[in-house]
Amino acid sequence: MVFQVFFILMMLKISAFCEGLSNKIRSNTRAELGMEAILSNGLFNSNAQKVELKLSLSEGGMKYSEGNYFSRWITKSKYSEAMDSQDLRNYQNSQYFGKIEVGTPPRKFVVIFDTGSSSVWIPSIECKHKGCEPHNKYDPKLSTSYQKLGDGSLETYIQYGTGSCVLKFGKEVINIGKLKIEDQSFGMAIEESTSPFAELPFDGLVGLGFPDKNSKKNNIPTIVENIKERNILPRNLFGVYISRDSSIPGSISFGAADPKYTISGQKITWHRLTGSHYWEIKIKDIKINGVSTNYCFGDCKAAIDTGSSVSTAPSSFMRKITKVIPMEGECNRYLSSPRITYVIEDIHGNEIEMHMDPQDYVIDEGGPSFNAFNYYWGPQEHYCSIGYIPLDIPAPRGPLFVLGNNFIRKYYSIFDRDNLMVGFTLAKHSKYGPMFISLSSNSESVLKMATFGITIILSLLLFIIY
């Protein structure tokens, strides 16, 4: 089940990343899908503390003031009460779910907080399709705070590579923990295809990305824009922690980063966004065991994506990786796998090295081996694979690397909307778990996902080519 969820989600995200997606809009309104990023910025706090990011603005741009380390930033503050933090359920190290409340009286929905998309959507009571059956549904008639968006006729049909849905738009009160966001535009799914939505263990999505073309064209503000416009938070920033052990929840905090998930004394490195489409940064080089791959030449791009279980890379780069790291095989083959290093320029122009060791990028999948590219079962009874998949995103959005949860699991990530930056620092894990991350404890899940993976790969090829 978990592998089905993983590949399904990757397919949904790939569909949103690529511009060639098939879109239709009812009521003569055209929506153009795209994954762009929008989020918040701010402070660092715990319940009784503020950990303040001491940035100053000048004509020369942003610069640090004294106190670059967490140990120097902890102070008492009224802002400590403004931070909202909630646990994210760790679903077998594959996805991390949180909760929101929608309407008056509030109704709970389980969602993924996704920095790779910008829309908020949940299933509607009008949906009679099997894809909606297992999920919580929203009924506007039961909410006193529901408002139509415009004349109520705006609907968007989205055709993904492995399914489709129809969204109808409205406005509501949405609560994320202590945050109350009024007049928030959101989508109500009135149709969802059986595959994949009937199999997904969450109800909907909260996009924390920048506005896509549909949002801009129809004047639909993202939830992050709304939070900023209403001055709900002292700083428009949020921090994300991804746990290593499935028994330990992850976390997302709004208005501040949470020092509980960071290592005392570790510096935060800040990196400017390179575009307006994603939480996207510039990669100057990628090294394997300290040796340059001579791939980027100072000009690669990477999107930081909380909605992706693993990371992606252009197929031309994957060919370089797989010369030294096998795509899959017996787990003991990976014990001496090389270190992968991303060289990322910070806001001062310094080259910062972000390391990914085997325990960060290798996935222990258990069960018999299946090679999804050559379609054969291997003889191993226990096997591993690397947490990277090839993905060629066409220009002008691509080529693009996607750094997903395996990267965020190692580096606590801070998304600063006000200053258009992302920050990274080593994450602190209370429980480390096994050496290699396991995406499932059920070998049956491996078999199901392997079969499903073939259809994903084939639909990907068709999607990219056409």
**pLDDT tens string 99-151:** 999 999 999 999 999 998 888 999 999 999 999 999 999 999 999 999 999 88
Q: How far is CA 134 from CA 96, 108, 128, 159, 242, in A?
A: 18, 14, 11, 21, 26
User: What pTM was estimated for this model as a whole?
Assistant: 0.79
Q: How far is CA 226 from CA 174, 177, 222, in A?
A: 11, 16, 6
CATH superfamily, region 263-465: Acid Proteases (2.40.70.10)
CA 331 to chain centre: 27
The catalytic position among 114, 258, 285, 416 is: 114
The catalytic position among 305, 360, 364, 416 is: 305
> Alpha-carbon distance 176 to 106, whole Å?
11
Average pLDDT over residues 375-384: 57
Residue 346 among the catalytic residues: no
Asked if residue 204 lies in contact with residue 120, where contact means CB atoms within 8 angstroms, the answer is: yes
The predicted-structure confidence for 177-197, as pLDDT tens digits, reads as follows: 999 999 999 999 999 999 888
- Residue 324 phi, psi (nearest 5): -120, -20
Q: How far is CA 144 from CA 105, 126, 289, in A?
A: 8, 18, 59
Between 29-33, 117-121, 219-223, 376-380, the lowest mean confidence (pLDDT) is in: 29-33
Which range among 14-18, 101-105, 201-205, 212-216 has the greatest average pLDDT? 101-105
For residue 90 the two structure tokens come to 């760790």
Give the pLDDT confidence score for residue 47 in this predicted structure: 34
Cis peptide, bond prior to residue 379, ω within 30 of zero: no
Residue 245 among the catalytic residues: no
Look over the chain and give the mean of its residue pLDDT values, rounded to a whole number: 77
